[in-house]
Every structure is written in C-alpha cells, then in structure tokens.
Amino acid sequence: MKEVAIIGGGASGLMAACFAAGKGTRVTVFEKQKKTGRKLLATGNGRCNITNSSIDPDRYHGRNPRFVQNIFSRFGLDDTIAFFESIGIPLIEESAGKMFPASRQASSVQQVLEYEALKRGVDIQLHRKIDRIIPGEKGIRLITAGREELVVNAAVLAMGSCASPQLGAAKDVYDIPRALGHTVHEPFPSIVPLDIPLRTLHRLEGIKWDCRIQARVDRVTGAESLGELLFTKYGISGPAALDVSRAANSAVCAGKRCEIIIDLFPERKEEELRELMESLFSDGTKTLAFALRGILKERMPEVLAAIAGIDPFRKTATISKEERQKFVAVMKHMVLEPGKPRSFNDAVVAAGGVEVSEVNPATMESRLAEGMYLTGELLDIDGDSGGFNLQFAWSTGAIAGMALSR
C-alpha cells in the first residue's frame, strides 16, 4: 500500500487528495487548522469564485508565467468544470467570466469537496501541523509539531502562501521547500488595496467611482483596469485598484519608480471635459466646488481642487483658463505615488514563492527531492483577480493527485 501525505487541506490539497485516493493508495491530509478550506470559504466574498471562463496564461504572473501553459494543457478549465459537476456542484457564469457554484455559497464547495475526499477513503486529520520533512532511502519522514514521526512514500506540499494570516496562513510555509533545497522568491502582497500617502486624498474615504486606473512603472504602463474604485482612509481599494496592485507593489518592492494614474471620466475626452466645465462655470457667481456638484460627488470638488492647487471656494468667474486646465488634468490624469505595500493581512494572494523551474509540470513532482510534490499558491505563480488563482490551485492539485494514483 502506497502511503501519501498531503500537507494542507485547502483548495489544491483537497483536489490532490480526491485524485490521489484509490486502490493501492492510502491518502492522509494533514491540516493545521480546525477545519479544511478556511481560505476557500472567504473567496469571492463568501461565494467562491471557482474559476473564470477566460483562462489565459497572460492573466498569470511570476518569473516564469508560461509554466501555466503546461499545467492547463494537462488539466484545464473544461476538466475543472466537469469535475465539479461530477461531484454535484454545477457552475454559473457572471460578469467578466467569473464562475461560481450554482449555490453561490463557498461553504457548499468546501463541504462537498471534503465529503468527496472522505468518500474516496481519504483520512483528514485536523489540528495536525507538519514542522519538518526529511526525505530518505526508506521513505519520507514527517515530523509533526508535537514531535511525532511518520513515514510515507510521497508527500504533497499544498500549504498555500503567507497571504491572509487571519485565515491560518503563515510565512513559515516556505521553510519546508527551502529545507529541501528549493529556491523561494521573496513573497509580497498581491490583489491588495493600495496605500496612497497623499493625505488630501484620504478625505474622499467611502466614495465609490467608476474610472480607468493605471500602474505606470518607469513611465511604462504595467497594468490597467476599468472599473469601480473605492477611496479609503489610507488610499484606494475596490476592483480597479486590486487589478493594478500587483504591478504597483512589484515596482515598489524593486525600488522602481511607480505612479498610479486615475482617469475619473474615461468615457469623455479631455476637450469634452473642458467644454463641460465652461458650461458649468457660466454662472460666475457660483464657487468652483458648487458649480461641479452636478458631475462630482460630495467632497470630490474640494479634494480635486486642492490637488490642482486651486481654492475650491473661489467664484468661477475668477478661475483662470490655466487653472481650469489644471483641474481638468486632475480629473482625467490624476497622478498619485503609491506607498509601501500593505500587509499580507489585506492581501488575497501572495506573489513570489517556490521557483517553478524546479518542479515538473507533468506531475508537480520536485526536480530536487524525489517523492515530493508542490502545488497551488506555494509556487511562484499568481493570477489576476477573478477566479484565476483558484483555477491554478485546482489544476496543480489534480495533476499531482493523478500522478500519485498511477
């Protein structure tokens, strides 16, 4: 009987367990938390964004993002949809290709996945943390936090990343692959709100606005998004900000120059905005702030005027052509400097991780330590928001499981 240990009961770990279990293989999942899939329960605002109908390698990042091509050619979107339908979880598609369980509840995914693993004979052990793994000629020794030793034939490292420590993640997940000789690229927060040190902007806290946003690195656009922006007490959040956060944080961590550029009126050309302002300023007795109340939310005219260096309470008749142009420029091309990345507490995923060239994409087995497999977010691959990271977890877990079942 082949003994297989899976370290971590998250998305890729449960997937690996389901595919590895079978005749001649005994699978044990070691989960340090009190239940499996805690992070899974939080995905998609509690609805579990399982995957995306537009899976594309261009939506993935890392030092070798093309690694995902090899992964998805072996277990891709169609395989994932078919698997979930086979266990009683049909998927529905919403905006931007996001796919959710028909129940629209993450708990149903966690519960059914766990049930399926147990049905296939998997032993799930909770509150069991593996501290060390020592491969040897007579098998792979697992040493628990309680100093208990076990020997298995193969082990899957599916511990996830250090993002969202409030859900059980920790930076020590990289200790075991490092001890096995793997290269670990320093992780940093990805899909995370952005700190903007400009205090004036913080006065917009709570305001939501549809806009175009860019992260420009050394004068070149690194990422761009069109969608909802949420102004916060520390900077910006919302889907549009999260979409460009990886490019911004990567640049800041590398010491490169980064600018966040916001276009509050992407549907209008700059000339159209100038003409609109001329119309709004036709009553010269109005203040600048009051004249713009018809096109901007409360507090926005005052804040944008402050950024442009104009007194918002001046009469429009006194606002010069040059000042009007400055204000239009702020509405169409607001340039902000991001601060240091926020903590992993706020991050959906972590960029960085184990170097993928040290892993065989056909099996997910380590090229450095025989019998060791690595899956999911532990690897130096991270995807965009919208189901891309879970798809990578399902695919890598399934590939490792299938390899172990052979």
Alpha carbon separation from 396 to 11, 73, 74, 78, 322 (Å, rounded): 10, 11, 9, 14, 57
Q: Which residues pair with 225 in a beta bridge?
A: 213
* 384 vs 382: CA distance, rounded Å: 7
Q: DSSP letters of 288-327?
A: HHHHTTTTS-TTHHHHHHHHHT--TTSBGGG--HHHHHHH
Please, is 405 exposed, middle or buried when counting C-beta atoms within 10 Å of its C-beta (0-12, 13-18, 19+)?
A: middle
* 334 vs 279: CA distance, rounded Å: 22
* 339 vs 334: CA distance, rounded Å: 16
* 37 vs 13: CA distance, rounded Å: 9
CA 228-229-231 angle, to 5 degrees, is: 150
State the sign of the Cα–Cα–Cα–Cα dihedral 398, 168, 344, 187: negative
Contact 173, 192 (CB under 8 A): no
Residue 141 in tokens: 């020794």
Residue 37 in tokens: 């899939």
CB atoms within 10 A of CB 209: 18
Nearest CA among 249, 270, 271 for reference residue 260: 249
DSSP secondary structure letter of residue 399? H
Alpha carbon separation from 172 to 132, 156, 346 (Å, rounded): 11, 16, 18
The three-class DSSP label of residue 343 is: coil
Radius of gyration of the chain (CA): 25
Q: Which residues pair with 208 in a beta bridge?
A: 230
Pairing mode, if any, of strands 25-31 and 2-7? parallel
Contact 69, 357 (CB under 8 A): no
Residue 59's Cβ-side half-sphere holds a number of Cα atoms within 13 Å equal to 22
Q: How far is CA 202 from the centre of its chain?
A: 24
**Predicted TM-score of the model (pTM):** 0.94
Residue 190 in tokens: 């990805």
Q: Which residues pair with 365 in a beta bridge?
A: 360, 373
pLDDT of residue 137: 86
The three-class DSSP label of residue 285 is: coil
pLDDT of residue 399: 98
pLDDT of residue 379: 98
Contact 161, 350 (CB under 8 A): yes
Rounded to 10 deg, the angle between the 388-405 and 67-74 helix axes is 60
* 208 vs 205: CA distance, rounded Å: 9
Contact 232, 205 (CB under 8 A): yes
pLDDT of residue 23: 84
Residue 403 in tokens: 């390899």
CB contact set of 142 (below 8 Å; sequence gap of 6+): 5, 7, 30, 130, 132, 133, 149, 150, 151, 152, 155
Structural domains of the chain, with CATH = 2-189+346-405 (3.50.50.60), 193-341 (no CATH)
The segments of the chain whose pLDDT lies below 50 read: none
